[in-house]
Amino acid sequence: MAQVRLNHIAKQFDGQSVLADINIDIRDGEFMVFVGPSGCGKSTLLRTIAGLERATSGQVLIGSDEVTHAPPARRGVAMVFQSYALYPHMTVFDNIAFGLKLAKKPREEVERAVHAAAELLQIEHLLGRKPAALSGGQRQRVAIGRSIVREPRVFLFDEPLSNLDAALRVQMRVELIKLHRRLGTTVVYVTHDQVEAMTMADRIAVLNQGRLEQLGTPLELYRRPNNMFVAGFIGSPKMNFLDVSVAAVDESGVTVRLPGEVSLKMPVAGENLAPGDELKFGVRPEHVGLKAAVEGQVDATVSGEVVVVEHLGGEILVHLQIAGESTVELKSPGTHDEISCGDRLDIVLNADLCHLFNLEGQALTRTCG
Ligand code: ADP
Ligand code: MG
């Protein structure tokens, strides 16, 4: 087990910047997820930890060792890829044992390690099969088994569940969380799926266009996104964003004018703002209340017309057209048979659950909480 430290990592391919000044400290035993859209540099960063890619500048430390220029085999890491890369002509046993045999480990030790890993992954009954006779989930377990027997200091996963169907992905997600709990080994896990990131991570690093946008626990990112990118990327359905203007500024906050001339006072610092300034307002669908149903704090009421209703059974998604071209999506528990397209509906907002961003997309500082 070991901590991993990324110091000012930058990477260029053919002069094109792919990673810029990445600083991340991964704690010993932590489950760290790198998440971001396709092409943002997640795999490149993971491969830099593995030694499969050389950083253009910066340092990689694993444990107390500086490994920036060390070959992959010297780093004590094991990597699991999206494509399982199993040897098709070898049995599951031999696939898992391959690295140990190559390292000329004694036969009894290899036997013991393979059986222990297979038991952990519940694939003991498959040890005599070839990969072609396995399902996708079983193959991925074999690939994970192959990395477990090497007893790495750090596990590196690059989108290991992306090839699996949705139901299996959810199941494997839970199994990987349990596996991490049992082994306690540091994990760095790459995914483009924010749900995977939210459910699996101790902490998440959100990457975008080669930059680290924010690092924090899942709930820190959900509750206090630093910027509009993180706000829009974490959470489903996506946060609503509306154009608003500043109506007034005082010690305790900034009053904004929402579409439809509705005022809402937000508990944020407004020292550089003046009436008339334009801002972006954000609120998650699950934090938009139905006036008829809400019991908590109400700081503003907005009226709109229902344009789309999506029934999920246990909850409902409603798309509302409010003033002008603005639309707001809301998510509410319950079936709500009473809501139909074309209805007028009043929705309510709680300022503590809303977000304000400047036009550069940076979140304004909260004056409380
Ligand atoms: P992600 O894993 O987040 O989808 P990658 O790290 O694979 O992103 O890629 C980041 C960027 O670097 C992409 O624009 C990709 O095209 C580019 N890239 C990756 N590997 C190479 C390479 N070997 N040569 C040139 N460009 C590359
Ligand atoms: Mg990738």
The reported pTM is 0.94
Cβ–Cβ < 8 Å for 176, 155: no
User: In the prediction, which pLDDT does 369 show?
Assistant: 57
Q: Whose CA is nearest to atom 16 of ligand 1?
A: 39
Task: Give the residue with greater pLDDT, 81 vs 59.
Answer: 59
Annotate 94-113 with b (16+ C-beta within 10 A) or e (fewer): bbbbbbbeeeebeeeebeeb
User: In the prediction, which pLDDT does 167 show?
Assistant: 87
The structure tokens 């087990």 sit at 1
Task: Give the residue with greater pLDDT, 368 vs 204.
Answer: 204
Q: Whose CA is nearest to atom 19 of ligand 1?
A: 44
Alpha helices, DSSP H, located in the chain = 42-50, 92-102, 107-120, 136-148, 166-183, 194-200, 218-223, 228-233
Strand ranges, E, within 53-106: 57-62, 65-66, 77-80
Q: Whose CA is nearest to atom 23 of ligand 1?
A: 13
- Percentage of residues in the chain having pLDDT higher than 70: 100
Nearest ligand, measured from the Cα of 38 = 1
Mean pLDDT to the nearest integer, 76-94: 92
Cβ–Cβ < 8 Å for 347, 290: yes
Give residues (CB < 6 A) around ligand 1: 13, 18, 36, 38-44
Chain-centroid distance, C-alpha 17: 23
Expressed in angstroms and rounded, the spacing between residue 44 Cα and the centre of ligand 1 is: 6
Q: Which atom of ligand 1 is nearest to the CA of 207?
A: 3
User: In the prediction, which pLDDT does 250 show?
Assistant: 93
Q: Tens of pLDDT along 283-322?
A: 999 999 999 888 888 999 999 999 999 999 999 999 999 9
Expressed in angstroms and rounded, the spacing between residue 43 Cα and the centre of ligand 2 is: 4
Q: Tens of pLDDT along 312-366?
A: 999 999 999 998 789 999 999 999 999 999 999 999 999 999 999 999 999 999 9
Expressed in angstroms and rounded, the spacing between residue 29 Cα and the centre of ligand 2 is: 23
